[in-house]
Amino acid sequence: MFKNNYIVWNQWLSSLLYTVLLALTLPPFLNAKNSTNTIIPKPQSFHAGKGSFTLNQQTSYYSDTALAKRAIGYLQQHLKRNAGYTLKKSKTAKISKFLFSATPKKVNKAEGYRLTVTKNKIYIEARDRAGFFYAVVSFMQMMDAGIWKEKHAGKKQKSWNVPVCHIKDYPHFAWRGMMLDSSRNFFSVSYIKKFIDRMAQHKLNRFHWHLTDDEGWRIEIKRYPLLTKVGAARGPGTKLPFSTYPAMRGSKNKRQSGYYSQREIREIIAYARARSVEILPEIDMPGHAKAAIVSYPKLLQDPKDKSYYRSVQKVSNNTINPARESTYIFLDNVLKEVSALFPFGYIHLGGDEVPKGAWQKSPAVKKLMKSKGFKNNKEVRAYFFSRLDRILAKHHKKMIAWQEVAKGKAKLRNNNIFMAWKSPKDGYYLARKRHHVILAPVQYLYFDQQYVRSKKEPGHTWSTPVSTKKVYSFTPKASVYINGVEACLWSETLLNTHIADYLAWPRTFALSEVAWTEQKHKKWSGFQKRAKKGLKRLKVQGIHYRGF
Ligand code: TNX
């Protein structure tokens, strides 16, 4: 009892002291010009002052909250690598130069923060872990680009100047996502980490991981080892052909394989969490499932089904049969492992592009339709997703799916989310129907599309080109049902990481401002200026990008 009171009293005193200190040392921020603002995404409010703070080995820090731990760790890690030292922790707020303070009353928006740099102190205030993390990311973006280096050889920079400024910031959208397709082409664990780290640097917080598709099953499922033994291998001598393009990591004639073990996935989840990124795994079904089907045909197909059909991407018979009980037992077992592995509350079940002729000649489906009175394919699909929703509920997860799933009359719990990819209009339509929506329109946010139409440019051509300016011009309508935005990096054409990076940058800069910055603060000319410094930060990290 005594101890608790003592702690409360002590905390109260230190926060009082902190407020007094802040008031005394704040210079007048008369200069609202933001020429020193090099932060992407642009903060909601940035006031520049005169002069700068010099950070060096003598700079000590103080924190009154455990919520700042990850943020401090991130800064220290970069300082250690690129400055050769870390900041020492001081015993009191008074003698420290760099202060972290939990101020839930002053910072009232989730993930928000206040960052004040004076000539001799830095103040960071936030209410949650993400807020502290984003304050530190903003701070680091104002340091010399060298702080972002991944490897450091040679002489280290000992002192770093950060311009005097006052920032108040918070996100416009709660869902700020990026999708990477690890199925069509496989990416190493170290590339996935880099990808997530770069997202976090730009305050993106949802990594949507497309782990299964026709071209490869990439997640270890202990109960069904063939999924990765058979379903992750493709090329000559395997059951999976190169359906769209030759594979990454080898020529067209070479076998290749790749998947993530559960141990590796845990490692990636922890890495993402340390950067305030949640991972949304996607297990695509019932279409886009060729890799699963060739691994367990007896469980997932009707042996008497004589249908022959092809998907939009020209993959034959790639759809799981919705009338077999073994299908639901299989998916229940798979989702049980996926649910245990990923701490995020949602699982993405795909649901896109079920080919037209699927199941048409399946006696099992015919029987199901007759017994349930289903008139068409759509109703069968709705039945499939109703059952899957119940399975997810059992595993304490909520469903996210592509917009196609919203069309049928599936009986779903009403806390699920749909991703609208065909157009913004489709997303607004769903929002009007009171569905929660994430906007990922191909016309603005498909980063697998070419920037401009040219034979020299990598990327898909089936939709319109998506220039960085086009991404920036996207202005989603506000609605409580629009949870946020997401860019998709499908990987049919991503034959190496060079191409992947090129297609992602600088479009991801623009995405981050669409997701984070209030529309009234967005301006293309200012963005271009800030992006120049942004490109320098990418360069020192060895990231390939397209010029403006
Ligand atoms: C459509 S968008 C797909 C993907 C492809 C992508 C290529 C969606 C839900 N499905 O399977 O990779 O187009 O741009």
Catalytically annotated residue among 172, 288, 435, 436:
288
Which of 98, 366, 71 shows the shortest CA–CA distance to 203? 71
Exposure string for 408-422, b = 16+ CB within 10 A, e = fewer: bebebeeebbbbbbb
Which of 473, 527, 476, 534 shows the shortest CA–CA distance to 504? 534
Q: What pLDDT sits at residue 170? A: 98
Q: What pLDDT sits at residue 11? A: 52
Is 268's pLDDT higher than 90? yes
The residue behind tokens 């935005």 is 485
Nearest CA to ligand 1 atom 2: 421
Distance CA 42, CA 517 (A): 6
Q: Provide, rounded to the nearest whole percent, the portion of the chain with pLDDT above 70.
A: 92
Mean pLDDT score, 88-95: 95
Q: What pLDDT sits at residue 375? A: 95
> pLDDT higher for 353 or 153?
353
Q: Report the residue among 180, 352, 400 best suited for mutation to probe ligand 1: largest number of ligand atoms under 8 A from its CB.
A: 352
Q: How confident is the model at residue 3 (pLDDT cuts 50, 70, 90)?
A: very low
CA of 490 to the centre of ligand 1 (A): 7
Q: What pLDDT sits at residue 26? A: 52
Mean pLDDT score, 89-110: 96
Contact 334, 283 (CB under 8 A): yes
Nearest CA to ligand 1 atom 4: 490
Q: Is 49 helix (H, G, I), strand (E, B) or coil?
A: strand
Helix, strand, coil percent content, the chain, rounded in steps of 5: 35, 20, 45
Nearest CA to ligand 1 atom 12: 490
Q: Which of 76-80, 252-256, 282-286, 314-318 is the least confident region?
A: 252-256
Q: Which residues pair with 52 in a beta bridge?
A: 163
Distances, alpha carbon 104 to alpha carbons 65, 128, 133, 203, 253, in Å: 11, 8, 15, 20, 59
Q: What pLDDT sits at residue 2? A: 39
Please give the mean pLDDT across all residues of the chain. 93
Distances, alpha carbon 368 to alpha carbons 163, 322, 355, 407, 453, in Å: 68, 9, 19, 21, 47
Distance CA 196, CA 415 (A): 26
CA of 327 to the centre of ligand 1 (A): 24
**In sequence order, what are the residues at sequence separation of 6 or more whose Cβ sits closer than 8 angstroms to the Cβ of residue 90?**
60, 61, 62, 96
Nearest CA to ligand 1 atom 10: 352
Give the β-pairing of 436-439 and 417-420.
parallel
Q: What pLDDT sits at residue 242? A: 73
Is 35's pLDDT higher than 80? no
Distance CA 426, CA 416 (A): 17
Distance CA 441, CA 427 (A): 8
Q: What pLDDT sits at residue 15? A: 54
Strands (DSSP E) along 118-270, which ranges?
122-126, 160-169, 175-181, 206-210, 212-213, 216-217, 233-234, 256-257
CA of 352 to the centre of ligand 1 (A): 8
Q: How confident is the model at residue 18 (pLDDT cuts 50, 70, 90)?
A: low
Is 16's pLDDT higher than 70? no
Contact 200, 271 (CB under 8 A): no
Distances, alpha carbon 365 to alpha carbons 102, 295, 353, 510, in Å: 58, 21, 19, 46
Is 9's pLDDT higher than 90? no
Q: What pLDDT sits at residue 33? A: 52
Q: What pLDDT sits at residue 396? A: 98
Q: Is 254 helix (H, G, I), strand (E, B) or coil?
A: coil
Whether the bond between 506 and the residue before it is cis, its omega within 30 degrees of 0, is yes
Mean pLDDT score, 7-29: 51
Q: What is the DSSP string of 357-385?
A: TTTTT-HHHHHHHHHHT--SHHHHHHHHH
Question: Phi then psi for 501, rounded to 5 degrees?
Answer: -65, -40
Nearest CA to ligand 1 atom 8: 352
Q: What pLDDT sits at residue 151? A: 86
Q: Which residues pair with 234 in a beta bridge?
A: 240, 256
**In sequence order, what are the residues at sequence separation of 6 or more whose Cβ sits closer than 8 angstroms to the Cβ of residue 387?**
328
**In sequence order, what are the residues at sequence separation of 6 or more whose Cβ sits closer than 8 angstroms to the Cβ of residue 7?**
none
User: Which residues contact ligand 1 via a Cβ below 6 A?
Assistant: 352-353, 402, 421, 446, 448, 460, 490, 492
Is 207's pLDDT higher than 50? yes
CA of 422 to the centre of ligand 1 (A): 10
Is 12's pLDDT higher than 60? no
pLDDT tens-digit series, residues 457-502: 999 999 999 999 999 999 999 899 999 999 999 999 998 999 999 9
Distance CA 279, CA 347 (A): 9
Domain architecture of the chain: domains with CATH: 2-169 (3.30.379.10), 175-540 (3.20.20.80)
pLDDT tens-digit series, residues 298-308: 999 999 999 99
Q: Report the residue among 215, 353, 405, 492 best suited for mutation to probe ligand 1: largest number of ligand atoms under 8 A from its CB.
A: 353
Is 234's pLDDT higher than 50? yes
CA of 44 to the centre of ligand 1 (A): 34
CA of 337 to the centre of ligand 1 (A): 26
- Is residue 125 part of the annotated active site? The answer reads no
Mean pLDDT score, 362-377: 97
Mean pLDDT score, 363-379: 96
Give the position, in ligand 1's atom list, of the atom nearest the Cα of 449. Answer: 14
The residue behind tokens 């076998």 is 255
DSSP 277: -
Q: What pLDDT sits at residue 248? A: 58
Task: Please give the structure tokens belonging to residue 244.
Answer: 């769209």
Give the position, in ligand 1's atom list, of the atom nearest the Cα of 419. Answer: 9
Contact 330, 296 (CB under 8 A): yes
Nearest CA to ligand 1 atom 13: 490
Give the position, in ligand 1's atom list, of the atom nearest the Cα of 402. Answer: 9
CA dihedral over 495, 501, 502, 503, signed as positive or negative: positive
CA of 288 to the centre of ligand 1 (A): 10
Q: What pLDDT sits at residue 188? A: 97
Q: How confident is the model at residue 548 (pLDDT cuts 50, 70, 90)?
A: confident
Give the position, in ligand 1's atom list, of the atom nearest the Cα of 492. Answer: 12
CA of 175 to the centre of ligand 1 (A): 20
Catalytically annotated residue among 267, 353, 457, 518:
353
Q: Report the residue among 313, 349, 460, 494 best suited for mutation to probe ligand 1: largest number of ligand atoms under 8 A from its CB.
A: 313
Q: What pLDDT sits at residue 1? A: 36
Give the position, in ligand 1's atom list, of the atom nearest the Cα of 404. Answer: 9
Give the position, in ligand 1's atom list, of the atom nearest the Cα of 491. Answer: 12
Q: What is the DSSP string of 408-472?
A: S-----TT-EEEE-S-HHHHHHHHHTT-EEEE--HHHHBTTB-SSS-TTS-SB-SS----HHHHH
pLDDT tens-digit series, residues 434-456: 999 999 999 999 999 999 999 99
Is 5's pLDDT higher than 70? no
- Is residue 352 part of the annotated active site? The answer reads no
Q: CA-based Rg of the chain, rounded to a whole angstrom?
A: 25
Question: Phi then psi for 335, rounded to 5 degrees?
Answer: -70, -25
CA of 128 to the centre of ligand 1 (A): 35
Distance from chain centroid for Cα 140: 21
**In sequence order, what are the residues at sequence separation of 6 or more whose Cβ sits closer than 8 angstroms to the Cβ of residue 15?**
64, 101, 103
Q: What pLDDT sits at residue 225? A: 98
Nearest CA to ligand 1 atom 5: 490
Distance CA 273, CA 70 (A): 9
Task: Please give the structure tokens belonging to residue 189.
Answer: 């664990």
Give the β-pairing of 160-169 and 233-234.
unpaired
Catalytically annotated residue among 213, 302, 448, 501:
213
Q: How confident is the model at residue 7 (pLDDT cuts 50, 70, 90)?
A: very low
Q: In what order do the strands lie in the sheet with 122-126?
A: 45-55, 160-169, 113-117, 122-126, 98-102, 60-63, 88-89
- Is residue 166 part of the annotated active site? The answer reads no
Helix 69-82 vs helix 129-142: crossing angle, to nearest 10: 30
Nearest CA to ligand 1 atom 7: 490
Give the position, in ligand 1's atom list, of the atom nearest the Cα of 213. Answer: 11
Distance CA 200, CA 149 (A): 15
CA of 253 to the centre of ligand 1 (A): 25
Q: What pLDDT sits at residue 424? A: 98
Q: What pLDDT sits at residue 252? A: 64
Q: How confident is the model at residue 20 (pLDDT cuts 50, 70, 90)?
A: low
First to last CA, the chain: 62
Give the position, in ligand 1's atom list, of the atom nearest the Cα of 490. Answer: 12
Distance CA 315, CA 259 (A): 21
Is 184's pLDDT higher than 90? yes
Is 4's pLDDT higher than 50? no
